């Protein structure tokens, strides 16, 4: 019986990536597993996500990660005996320029190769599916009917509850002060109240705060928190019906999806804002993401969206939501062992894709921890693939922010 002080694996972070890793380790009977979070489970960045599960990606490994998330949702619903609220609404990617058409064609080819249902649709069909859109601005549209969205907090809670059902110990509201290590290997963590908990394997899945735990170990993970945000219109159920497909509009640097009769609009400014991780507060609600951005970004991006949503200047905005999304210079994830210390692993840097790929990221982490054959090439996500980095330097933070600035969609 576990004495509460010694475990086989300790996971730091109760967001999507930490909970997905706990679930995948528990599935593989990885022994006594402890998951710690300084706040409630799924209460921080994982509760501020756009919640889109887009299947088609131009990199095959990413499609494998996303498919694993879909598989996890089905497994967890069966294990828990309840639905997790997956909404298969489909997605529509639109192109209005030569550059966006090339991106659409690449997605179309990838989807077809991977067996993901897709079809090009004309303006009449677009208007049926998206009654709010000014379709004259669209040259080409790609419809993927099996894409879905899910409440990210419910998904994270699902991973956590399923993991607990399989024996994982969850300890929310237990802030980790440090990862303990010596002689080139980790041995556990020390909590803010001084309590020490021991394990030969520690997984750093602390999200935007992960590098604060790495700094005393003189290791930098290659990501930085970058501001992402979205706006929610006032409810107009006749114009924004529940369940219509979410959209990706690369030429407007935007995505949209319906929610309770309102439209969620994600916009990406041309120069995204990084945050020094040492400036983050323990609770995101206490952190100032610069609310002036609510209007400055709208002022910059609204003209790009106006051809598709002609009255955006007059559209009543009911809510604004901002949060940190952790970006890596190559816009790929961080999953794997940290070379400097035996037993130390990282699952981080979700680049806005944690909801869609989290199940796959957790699986890859579990396979690497247990020495199993990985289902995707781990070199693509290796924490040390950039060599030594200083995530607290302004130059590196700008590199990471540029990865979001150059992203397709919102």
Q: Which helix (H) or strand (E) holds 113?
A: helix 98-114
- pLDDT band at 78, cuts 50/70/90? very high
The region of weakest confidence among 83-92, 123-132, 287-296, 378-387 is 287-296
The region of weakest confidence among 25-39, 274-288, 368-382 is 274-288
The region of weakest confidence among 44-58, 141-155, 283-297 is 283-297
Distances (CA, A) of 91 to 181, 187, 331: 46, 45, 22
The answer to whether the predicted template modeling score (pTM) of the entire model surpasses 0.95 is no
Helix/strand/coil percentages in the chain, nearest 5: 35, 25, 40
Q: Which CATH class is domain 9-70+152-224+329-400?
A: alpha beta
Residues paired with residue 229 on neighbouring β-strands, in sequence order: 322
DSSP string, 41-85: TT-SGGGS---EE----SSHHHHHHHHHHHHHHHHHHHHHTS---
Cα–Cα distance for residue pair 225/166, rounded to 1 Å = 32
164-218 per-position pLDDT tens digit: 999 999 999 999 999 999 999 999 999 999 999 999 999 999 999 999 999 999 9
Domain topology for 89-146+225-325:
D-Amino Acid Oxidase; Chain A, domain 2 (3.30.9)
Cα–Cα distance for residue pair 87/158, rounded to 1 Å = 15
Residue 337 gets the label, from left (phi > 0), alpha (psi -120 to 50) or beta, of: beta
Q: What pLDDT score was predicted for residue 289? A: 67
Residues paired with residue 336 on neighbouring β-strands, in sequence order: 346
322-378 per-position pLDDT tens digit: 778 899 999 999 999 999 999 999 999 998 888 999 999 999 999 999 999 999 999
SS3 category, 222: coil
pLDDT at 294 over 70: no
CA 301, 303, 309, 315 torsion: positive or negative?
positive
Domain boundaries, the chain: 9-70+152-224+329-400, 89-146+225-325
């Amino acid at each position: 019986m576990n004495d509460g002080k010694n475990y086989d694996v300790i996971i730091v972070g109760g967001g999507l990536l930490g909970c997905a890793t706990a679930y995948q380790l528990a599935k593989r009977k990885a022994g006594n597993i402890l998951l710690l979070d300084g706040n409630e489970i799924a209460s921080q960045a994982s509760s501020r996500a756009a919640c889109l599960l887009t299947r088609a990606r131009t990199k095959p490994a990413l499609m494998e990660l996303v498919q694993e998330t879909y598989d996890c949702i089905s497994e967890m619903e069966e294990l828990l005996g309840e639905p997790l609220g997956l909404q298969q609404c489909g997605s529509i990617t639109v192109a209005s320029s030569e550059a966006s058409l090339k991106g659409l064609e690449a997605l179309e080819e990838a989807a077809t190769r991977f067996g993901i249902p897709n079809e090009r649709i004309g303006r009449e069909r677009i208007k049926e599916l998206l009654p709010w859109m000014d379709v004259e601005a669209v040259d080409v549209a790609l419809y993927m009917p099996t894409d879905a969205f899910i409440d990210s907090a419910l998904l994270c809670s699902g991973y956590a509850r399923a993991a607990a059902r399989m024996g994982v110990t969850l300890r929310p509201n237990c802030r980790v002060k440090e990862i303990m290590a010596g002689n080139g290997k980790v041995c556990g963590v020390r909590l803010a109240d001084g309590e020490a908990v021991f394990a030969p394997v520690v997984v750093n899945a602390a999200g935007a705060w992960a590098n604060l735990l790495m700094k005393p170990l003189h290791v930098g993970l290659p990501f930085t928190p970058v501001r992402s945000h979205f706006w929610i219109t006032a409810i107009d159920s006749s114009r924004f019906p529940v369940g219509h497909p979410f959209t990706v509009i690369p030429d407007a640097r935007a995505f949209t999806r319906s929610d309770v009769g309102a439209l969620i609009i994600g916009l990406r400014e041309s120069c995204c804002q990084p945050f020094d991780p040492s400036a983050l507060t323990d609770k995101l609600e206490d952190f100032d993401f610069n609310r002036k951005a609510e209007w400055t970004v709208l002022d910059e991006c609204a003209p790009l969206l106006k051809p598709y949503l002609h009255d955006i200047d007059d559209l009543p905005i009911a809510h604004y939501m901002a949060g940190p999304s952790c970006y890596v210079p190559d816009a790929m994830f961080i999953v794997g062992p940290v070379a400097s210390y035996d037993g130390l692993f990282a699952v981080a840097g979700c680049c806005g894709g944690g909801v869609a790929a989290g199940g796959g990221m957790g699986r890859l982490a579990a396979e690497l921890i247990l020495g199993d054959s990985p289902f995707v090439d781990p070199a693509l996500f290796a924490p040390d693939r950039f060599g030594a980095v200083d995530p607290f330097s302004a130059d590196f933070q700008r590199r990471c922010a540029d990865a979001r600035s150059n992203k397709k969609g919102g």
